Structure 1
Amino acid sequence: MSTHKISGMEALPITPKSYPFSSAEKYWRISQYGYVESEFKISGTANVYQTGQHGVEIKAAGVPYVNRIIVRKPAKLADCSGKVVIEILNPTAGMDIDRIWINTYHEIIRRGDIYIGITSKPNTIKTLQEFDMHRYGDLSWPNPTPDVGFEFTRDEVLATHAAVPDQDVHYETGLFWDMLTDLAKLIRQSVPLNPLQGIQVNQVILAGWSQSADYMCTYMNNFAIAMKLFDGFLLGCPPRAFSVPINQYETMQTLRYTKVFLQKTIKPTIILQTESENVGFGAGQVPRNRTMSAEYQCREYDIAGATHDTVYSLLDYYQDDPDLKAIGCYPTYGGQDVEPNNYPIQVLFAGAYHNLCQWMVTGVAPAPAALIVNDGTENQRDAFGNVVGGLRTCLLNYPTGRYVSYSHIKLGTNGLDPNSNINGLFGHEEAFSASMLTELYGSLSHYQELVSLDTTHQVRLGSVLQSDAEYLVGYAVAKARKRGLK
């Protein structure tokens, strides 16, 4: 008899006064694209696992929980592609962040794919309840052993790259693995509990950004069921030296740097990194596997110019949201540099998502690309100050400024290192002078010709989609114009 299952699926009403946290309908009116957003409270039981001699084993069985999922899909069943992407919502900031959705939703919508976001860590429940207690008041991930304390301190966690320090004896993070497994099973079944009633699901992608991508590695490396339930995997911006434990009591378990970040994947997998993660936060100590084999179906790309956070993904998307401001969760830049990084990372995420979907259908992997050149600790830079190598666009091949992978901040405001005045997650840009741009490119019309030709080349390579090419060229030209090129 199974000790874990989803036993309840309750649709939460959406009204002008009560709506989902971080609603895509509120921010971007996805209904204008023929999409509808819904939210469900899911309940059931899950096991807590622990690391044993021969892999994971059950530590506590059948622990009850109440969680939530958000669903975004075409309003008309006939418009549904049958492909589902499940995102492990990122919990690092103490709120649910749907960054894979933010960076790929244009392509998800163009394809008619279905999106499901699942709350992945109980530290975000407090924020959800501050946002709307009536809606989220009964969310619960109870610790089956609340009387057992931790054998480590918060400072010890901060001093390692094992995890972020948000452990609490009142809840248990390790309940998540069965929640994810059971959800992936459920959406393929013709049963009343299925939140995708009437939709024939043919393929399922698992996706995550930052810490959530590390969640994916723990799941893929330790739970064999992952390769049976999912048809593809998209890992965005993972801190390679971080480790998500099987349960919170194993937070300080030694991380083996001699192991490859992702040990094995027999299903199509794409990993995207920016300049923040490819050498930052101890990543240089973690070997990178670039060899494709039957046991390792993975393409790995470094996005040159971009950083972990960008103006688009962290600031613009949230539309100056008063709800987030009211609960103290509105994201800000925090840097002291004039121009925060606004590299259009979403264009390359859309391309990667599209390529992953094609790979899953055809069995043909997308073309590889050179990684950013580095010595394990620092990225090599060209005469303009931009990185060498990596997945590139016209913004790097015909630059109008340099992309710096960090920002300067006030001392004491770095949550990971209070003694640092550098934010390595949100970089900045330094514009070239108008005279330098004129010397390089002559005129704005000539610059437009150059970036148009370059983008056509990137479309042929497959890193940029034809549907995003006009936007990318327009973005590059507008930036050049703003910086003084005439």
Structure 2
Amino acid sequence: MNTEVLHIEVAAGGAGQPALPAKLQFPMESVGYSAKEFVLSGVAAAYAPPDGTALSENGQWGVTKCSNEAYVTRAVVYRPLDAEAFNGTVIVEWMNVTSGSDSSPVWIYTHNELIREGYVLISLSAQAAGVESTKAMDKKRYARLLHPGDIYSYDIFSQVGRAVRNQAEILLGGLSPKRIMGAGESQSAYRLVTYVNAIHLLSPVYEGYLLQSRPEKGAPLNTRDDVSGSTEVRSDLGVPVLIFQTETDVNAVTRQVDTATYRLWEVAGTAHFDAYGGGLGLMDTGDGEGAVRALQALRNPPDNVFGFIRCDKAINTGPMSFVLNAAVHALNEWIKTGLPPSSVQTLQATDFTLYNPSFVRDEFGNARGGIRTPFVDVPLAALAGTGNTGNQEFCLFFGTTEPFTPAELINLYSTQEGFLAKWNKAVEAAVESGVIRPADAKSLIDAAFSLKVL
């Protein structure tokens, strides 16, 4: 096997489809896309800092290769069926393994934007937990998969990114990529902080990064304690990095000064994981019904995720998916033009307790500051990224929704027409500021018109 050219073949056998515990619940062909799974094999390197060198908090890390091991992993490629619909951008998502198995939250949350704009997204099993759980889910299909350990995950991520360009004929069905960005959510963003700081400058593969819900620290590079403190994104990276933080995720470390290559988006009314990611989004084909369900959930929020993780309070039904769509667009334009999106205000935080920060809140219970949307500026509920509990420890990530009473809504808006006028104005303001996409704005306006508020 060659470390520069991967062996790539279409996955086959077993159940006949990719093993993913949470995936979109409609055929890709119905929205003009395909989903094809590949098995990729090669030899990956591990990296370590030179002896006696600490990995500093500023992220400017120097590392060298220290060992090599063979691997066999899998990736699911989502791409347009019509080659002319491809916009030239490929996103490689480092799949999340917090649950012990692979998930692709960036794809779940942003698939509407990616499909209507013609992106390719590749969901990559970069880590050992994902590979092992995948093998357990379909022993026949994945018998060959092999992961030597997470210290090799960084080079696996690099090699698959290079294959996007160098082996596009098989991996992309002949599409010609113009831009490649790396993306990951939560635990994956934790890994990507380390990738960006330690690996990117060795041999740049990705032209930008979307880090969604990143914690204060970076992940271990080679040993469990080699990244011991808070970790900034290095300032000399040379490519755009957009950090997307919900209320749950807000921390002091990510509040680096905006530069020509760094932007931070903190979004009011959002939680680390919410009703969209936990079920509503899986059925969203982009026909506008997803926005209808999102607004209905503000009035009648669920208390569970995927129907079995139940919490003590109704979970967050905020605007994360809509703003994350805009973040993808903003990063893509930034890569294309070299012009960063405008800086935005941070949330008015008063405390940075891990996954339980505190904020100045308005008279309705919604956080002040941050990226503003009609969900918090023309509210139907108090939305928070904190405050939930339950038998499952994951509930702390799901935030809360407290719908307003009929009397509160009458006091706020007087009439249905009064609500619609304010809602539509707030939607238009969000589009103007670049935090809601025009297509989503239309869906949100149409959904509000169909919703009986008063």
TM-score band, normalised by the shorter chain?
0.7 to 0.9
Instruction: Quote how far apart the aligned CAs of 1:262 are.
Output: 4.7
Q: How does 1:258-337 map to 2 (within 5 A)?
A: 259-278=231-250, 283-284=251-252, 286=253, 288-293=255-260, 297-318=261-282, 332-337=308-313
- Distance in 2 of aligned mates of 1:355 and 1:175: 31
Instruction: Quote how far apart the aligned CAs of 1:430 are.
Output: 0.8
Pick one of 430, 443, 448 that aligns with 2:415: 443
Instruction: Quote how far apart the aligned CAs of 1:176 are.
Output: 1.1
- Distance in 1 of aligned mates of 2:108 and 2:77: 14
**Equivalent residue for 1:255?**
228
Pick one of 67, 80, 105 that aligns with 2:111: 105
Q: Check whether the contact 2:359–2:367 (CA below 8 A) recurs between aligned residues.
A: yes
Deviations 1:47-101 (A, max 9, x none): 122222372222222x111100110111122322221111111111111111111
Q: Check whether the contact 2:319–2:373 (CA below 8 A) recurs between aligned residues.
A: no
**Equivalent residue for 1:397?**
377
SS in 1 for 2:74: strand
2:360 aligned with 1:380, yes or no? yes
**Equivalent residue for 2:298?**
none
Instruction: Quote how far apart the aligned CAs of 1:228 are.
Output: 2.6
- Distance in 2 of aligned mates of 1:261 and 1:269: 8
Where relative contact order (Cα < 8 A, 6+ residues apart) is larger, the structure is: 2
Instruction: Quote how far apart the aligned CAs of 1:22 are.
Output: 2.7
C-alpha distance 67-363 of structure 1, shift in aligned 2 (>3 A): same
**Equivalent residue for 1:236?**
212
**Equivalent residue for 2:124?**
118
Instruction: Quote how far apart the aligned CAs of 1:6 are.
Output: 4.3
- Distance in 1 of aligned mates of 2:409 and 2:24: 40
2:90 aligned with 1:84, yes or no? yes
Q: Check whether the contact 1:333–1:426 (CA below 8 A) recurs between aligned residues.
A: no
C-alpha distance 245-463 of structure 1, shift in aligned 2 (>3 A): same
- Distance in 1 of aligned mates of 2:450 and 2:132: 42
Pick one of 174, 192, 202 that aligns with 2:151: 174
2:347 aligned with 1:369, yes or no? no
**Equivalent residue for 2:99?**
93
Instruction: Quote how far apart the aligned CAs of 1:404 are.
Output: 2.7
Q: Cα RMSD (Å) of the superposition?
A: 2.5
Pick one of 44, 59, 68 that aligns with 1:46: 44
2:75 aligned with 1:69, yes or no? yes
Q: Check whether the contact 1:185–1:229 (CA below 8 A) recurs between aligned residues.
A: yes
2:161 aligned with 1:189, yes or no? no
- Distance in 1 of aligned mates of 2:244 and 2:139: 36
2:425 aligned with 1:453, yes or no? yes
Deviations 1:77-132 (A, max 9, x none): 23222211111111111111111111111111111111111112111233212321
Pick one of 165, 176, 187 that aligns with 1:211: 187
**Equivalent residue for 1:13?**
12
- Distance in 2 of aligned mates of 1:21 and 1:350: 25
- Distance in 2 of aligned mates of 1:375 and 1:69: 41
**Equivalent residue for 2:25?**
27
Letter in 2 for 1:19: Q
How many residues get paired?
Answer: 419
- Distance in 2 of aligned mates of 1:44 and 1:224: 19
Pick one of 414, 422, 434 that aligns with 2:393: 414
C-alpha distance 432-197 of structure 1, shift in aligned 2 (>3 A): closer
Deviations 1:135-161 (A, max 9, x none): 11221113xxxxxxxxxxxxxxxxxxx
Q: How does 1:125-136 map to 2 (within 5 A)?
A: 125-136=131-142
**Equivalent residue for 1:222?**
198
- Distance in 2 of aligned mates of 1:206 and 1:254: 21
SS in 2 for 1:313: coil
Instruction: Quote how far apart the aligned CAs of 1:209 are.
Output: 0.7
- Distance in 1 of aligned mates of 2:104 and 2:351: 30
Identity %: 24
Q: Check whether the contact 1:372–1:388 (CA below 8 A) recurs between aligned residues.
A: yes
Instruction: Quote how far apart the aligned CAs of 1:290 are.
Output: 2.1
TM-score, scaled relative to structure 2: 0.86
SS in 1 for 2:278: helix
Q: Check whether the contact 2:93–2:183 (CA below 8 A) recurs between aligned residues.
A: yes
- Distance in 2 of aligned mates of 1:440 and 1:10: 58
C-alpha distance 58-331 of structure 1, shift in aligned 2 (>3 A): farther
SS in 2 for 1:311: coil
- Distance in 1 of aligned mates of 2:306 and 2:439: 31
Q: How does 1:425-440 map to 2 (within 5 A)?
A: 425-440=397-412
SS in 1 for 2:398: coil
- Distance in 2 of aligned mates of 1:211 and 1:225: 22
Q: Check whether the contact 2:47–2:66 (CA below 8 A) recurs between aligned residues.
A: yes
**Equivalent residue for 2:221?**
246
Q: Check whether the contact 2:246–2:266 (CA below 8 A) recurs between aligned residues.
A: yes
Q: Check whether the contact 1:209–1:238 (CA below 8 A) recurs between aligned residues.
A: yes
Letter in 1 for 2:346: L
Instruction: Quote how far apart the aligned CAs of 1:226 are.
Output: 6.8
Q: Check whether the contact 1:347–1:472 (CA below 8 A) recurs between aligned residues.
A: no
- Distance in 1 of aligned mates of 2:340 and 2:203: 17
C-alpha distance 276-80 of structure 1, shift in aligned 2 (>3 A): same
C-alpha distance 358-410 of structure 1, shift in aligned 2 (>3 A): closer
Instruction: Quote how far apart the aligned CAs of 1:367 are.
Output: 1.3
C-alpha distance 13-72 of structure 1, shift in aligned 2 (>3 A): same
SS in 2 for 1:350: helix
SS in 2 for 1:341: coil
**Equivalent residue for 1:168?**
none
Q: Check whether the contact 1:24–1:37 (CA below 8 A) recurs between aligned residues.
A: no
- Distance in 2 of aligned mates of 1:287 and 1:256: 13
Instruction: Quote how far apart the aligned CAs of 1:39 are.
Output: 0.3
Instruction: Quote how far apart the aligned CAs of 1:425 are.
Output: 0.7
